[in-house]
Chain A
């Protein structure tokens, strides 16, 4: 079985651009998560979907971040407009159970905003 896949692996954007990150969860998993990792804050939850329904929209990240789950096997995270402070690694994870199961992570997308 394929694990969680993420594209692109690296992204460089100019300040003010719109970027879209993509994620495909493990086939059959119901829950999908987006996280962001920075050196200062560590790993933080951005969004959480259960069976394609948005359960958590990330509080402080709502302003310029929008995650969508177009179908059960594909999700996107849009950042619009990008700012240099958005430079981080963005990780997608999925789990099979409806709440509180083991999460499997993708390889991440390293975003650099100039």
Chain B
């Protein structure tokens, strides 16, 4: 079945540092999304990015379909960026999202 590998599992940053989160997929993908999970559990969609590069503020997502990978870049990290980031893919048969286990980001002053 489809597998999604996320790395690193956790990341500790000093405020102002940049970070790159990675996602690798075992099968070809139809679409993928990056989410931020709030402490109480709700999911915020950051990017719907089936291919190419998208930017929103200090966040940039890049998906390379041929290489079956996607990355999320955080620039000039802030304390409020702390939390869990999840990537998810939908395969070619569009049967729902398969999620990675997440990257827990902690930003300290």
B95:A48 contact, CB within 8 angstroms = yes
Interface size, chain B (Cβ < 8 Å): 23
A37 within 8 A of B: yes
**A110's closest neighbor in chain B, by CB?**
B41
* Bound: A110/B42 CA distance, A: 11
Task: Mark the stretch among A11-19, A77-85, A98-106 that contacts chain B.
Answer: A98-106
* Residues in B whose Cβ lies below 8 Å from that of A103: 33, 45, 97
Residues of A within 8 A of B90 (CB): 100
* Binary CB contact string for chain A from 59 to 86 against chain B (1 if under 8 A, 0 otherwise): 0000000000000000000000000000
Cβ of A20 under 8 Å from chain B: no
Given A99-B94, A100-B31, A100-B90, are A43 and B41 also a contact pair (CB < 8 Å)? no
A113, CB-defined interface residue at 8 Å: no
Q: Which residue of A lies closest to B102 (CB)?
A: A42
Closest B residue to A33 by beta carbon equals B96
Contacts of A104 in B (CB 8 A): 45
Count, A-B residue pairs, CB within 8 A: 54
CB pair A56–B41 under 8 Å, yes or no, is no
From B35, B41, B94, B101, A108 is in contact (CB under 8 Å) with B41
B86 at the interface (CB under 8 A from A): yes
A91 cross-chain contacts in B, Cβ below 8 A? 43
Name the one of A43, A99, A107 contacting B42, with C-beta atoms under 8 angstroms.
A107
CB contact between B43 and one of A42, A45, A55, A105 (< 8 Å): that residue: A105
Given B31, B35, B88, which contacts A101 in the complex, CB threshold below 8 Å? Answer: B31
* Option from B48, B86, B97 in Cβ contact (under 8 Å) with A33: B97
Let me know if A89 is at the binding interface, CB within 8 A: yes
- Max chain B C-beta neighbours (<10 A), residue from A44, A56, A101: A101
List, in ascending order, chain A residues with CB within 8 A of B95's CB.
45, 48, 55-56
* A residues apposed to B, CB below 8 Å: 33, 35, 37, 42-45, 48, 55-56, 89, 91, 93, 99-108, 110
Known: A42-B100, A45-B95, A100-B94. 5 other contacts (CB 8 A): A37-B41, A55-B95, A99-B30, A105-B45, A108-B41
